[in-house]
Amino acid sequence: MCGIVGYVGPQDAVPLLVDGLKRLEYRGYDSGGIALHTSEGIVFRKCVGRLTELERDLDARPVTGRPGIGHTRWATHGEPSVRNSHPHLDGSGRIAVVHNGIIENDQELREQLQAQGHTFLSETDTEVIPHLIEQALKDGAASPEAAIAQALKQARGAYALGILFADQPDTVYAARLGSPLIVGLGADAHFIASDVPAIVHHIDQVIYLNDGEMAVLQPDGVRILDLDGQALTPEVKPVDLAPEAAEMAGFETFMLKEIHEQPRVLRGLLEKHTHKKGHVDLTDLGLSADYLQQLRRIMIVSCGTAYHAAMYGKFLLEHVTGLAVETDLGSEFRYRSPRIEQDTLFVAVSQSGETADTLASLRLARERHCRVLSICNAPGSSLVRESDAVLFTEAGPEIGVASTKAYTAQLMAFALLSMAMGRARGEITSEQEQAWIKALEQVPNAIHYMIERADHIRAIADKHHDGPSALYLGRRFNYPTALEGALKNKEISYQHAEGYAAGEMKHGPIALINEYLPVICICTKTTDEVYEKMVSNMREVEARHGRIIAIATDGDTHVQAFAEDIIYVPPMCEEFSPLVNVVALQLLAYYAAQARGTDIDKPRNLAKSVTVE
Ligand code: M6R
């Protein structure tokens, strides 16, 4: 949930660390800090609040030095405060540590260290790490590496660490277990970071550290070793991310940029997997016809927005493959006694590939010998490494905390997967597949038209943003769209919002409806059955004087009779309408947030990558 960065090289580390941290701020943003090697030993600066506070402090109390490490925090243990912000030091002030993750046995370690005379200054779990390293050195560890290894062998939980020693003026140490960490290799400098976009401007090659590995970065090279001190030969990969991908490119926020990127992302994903004209090609996933024939069940697990994508995937896979499909939230699934066996395909969906609950669920599925397929946006992530096969969403870095392009790319991935599996199982014909591919080819342009209607959507958001609450209703394939629209609204505008299956409204939420409540109804013209039922639900809202905002298909004049406002969307078949409809809801939430004056890219209390339970 936090972001870490470290630098070893010939330049002053301060601007490089601050720039890297700013690019990682989406991971956590309640406090931050840096530690540097200087002629006076290790010097640090810390702040509470956004990194602008750190910059202000650095302006007021300038410092230079190298190498250095930095941290942007999302509090887990202890409130956001200078005392709790990283880097944390050992008792002598000669070892500085930044940490992303959670040390689960910190209380036990703290008591053990206190009994040995160590004094703690913060409430964090992290602080035990520099003290454990200090103690290991006191106990005779032969080198800093040996002391780090000795300390980490006592820690339970998850960590990505950056470590500085006052006595090692040209070295940054790093270690990883369960939290993401990369080593970036540049021409004359090396970095550590929580992700590639943070340092993409400075590096040509990257090493994705594996769990249980340590890195020793010095100006003339990088060594990777395990916790027993054995040297390892890492896989060094070229950086294949354009530096512009991590920039705002003239947009006012990353979220708006990412909304606009959706047509390009979806077109790219579709073209990549339909290059054989008229067929979806997912041969790389190794889902052979024999395997698919013996398959009995699909279990899809994920969290947040990715869970809404999973719900869509369930509806579509059931519709197209004839298989039983179940979904669950990562945080629930891992505590159930799920009936999954070898004939179950386990699908994990995650933008970041680092979500703790999704990962724990995947591990449970592996224990039950299920084949694991991931739908993921982050190459090199834990999810990717632990899966049998990966369908990459290829959306590029998503920096805005509220997921947009990663979501529609997940929907596209499920559309492709459903077609490939449906055909291999003989449940759909080639003609049907071709017709669906043609429909999917219309999606990028349809989204483009939606985005062109942004001014109209902004006007509607301006009118409705100030109420305390909003209700989102949808049916069948667009039921997850309603949930996702409500989630987008609450997470960035802080207006309370509920997503509901429209048919379920009369079983409870109808009590909320009065002349003040905006009710966003997804009633695009698809199958008559669903459309007519949706219209009946809207009539029920109208009868109670709810303020209906309809998401309707171009040319549908019927809804004008009872909707106060209408957002028209281009026509699309029901199966793929969620890919377009959700964009209207992303924009509605975006402009509501703007009208309410929130920090859209970094909404309060949230973090982009939830690496804790
Ligand atoms: O990285 P993941 O897709 O696994 O993340 C799951 C959720 O934390 C994420 O979708 C979250 O709900 C977003 N903030 C939604 O916009």
| Residue 610 CB–ligand 1 contact under 6 Å | yes
Q: Can you give 371-437 as a three-state secondary structure string?
A: EEEEEECCCCCHHHHCCCEEEECCCCCCCCCCCCHHHHHHHHHHHHHHHHHHHHCCCCCHHHHHHHH
- For the entire predicted model, the pTM comes to 0.88
- Both tokens of 220, joined, read 């003339």
Q: Ligand 1 centroid to 57 CA: how many Å? A: 32
Q: Looking at residue 583, what is its pLDDT?
A: 98
Q: Ligand 1 centroid to 308 CA: how many Å? A: 10
Ordered strands of the 182-185 beta sheet = 41-48, 31-38, 68-73, 3-8, 190-193, 182-185, 205-208, 237-238
By DSSP bridging, strand 389-392 and strand 371-376 are: parallel
Catalytic residue among 46, 257, 314, 608: 608
Name the residue at shortest CA distance from atom 14 of ligand 1. 402
Q: Kindly list the averaged pLDDT for each block of 10 residues, start to end, along the chain of length 613.
A: 93 96 85 94 93 93 97 85 93 96 94 97 95 98 97 95 96 94 96 94 95 96 96 94 82 95 96 86 88 92 98 97 95 88 94 94 94 95 94 95 97 97 92 94 95 95 94 97 98 96 94 95 86 94 95 95 96 95 98 96 87 75
Q: Please name the residue that has the structure tokens 């390892």.
A: 232
Q: From CA 383, how far away is CA 399, in angstroms rounded?
A: 19
Name the residue at shortest CA distance from atom 11 of ligand 1. 304
Q: Please name the residue that has the structure tokens 């024939």.
A: 293
| Residue 581 CB–ligand 1 contact under 6 Å | no
Strands, E, within 231-319: which ranges? 231-232, 237-238, 297-302
Q: From CA 214, how far away is CA 237, in angstroms rounded?
A: 18
Q: From CA 130, how far away is CA 230, in angstroms rounded?
A: 22
Catalytic residue among 2, 303, 376, 523: 2
Q: Looking at residue 558, what is its pLDDT?
A: 93
Q: Looking at residue 543, what is its pLDDT?
A: 93
Q: Is 303 a catalytic residue?
A: no
Where helices occur in 102-235 by DSSP H, the ranges are 106-115, 128-138, 144-152
Domains and CATH numbers, the chain: 3-246 (3.60.20.10), 249-441 (3.40.50.10490), 445-613 (3.40.50.10490)
Q: Is 2 a catalytic residue?
A: yes
Residue 573 falls in which region: left (phi positive, over 0), alpha (psi -120 to 50) or beta: beta
Q: Please name the residue that has the structure tokens 């694991």.
A: 372
Name the residue at shortest CA distance from atom 9 of ligand 1. 304
| Residue 352 CB–ligand 1 contact under 6 Å | yes
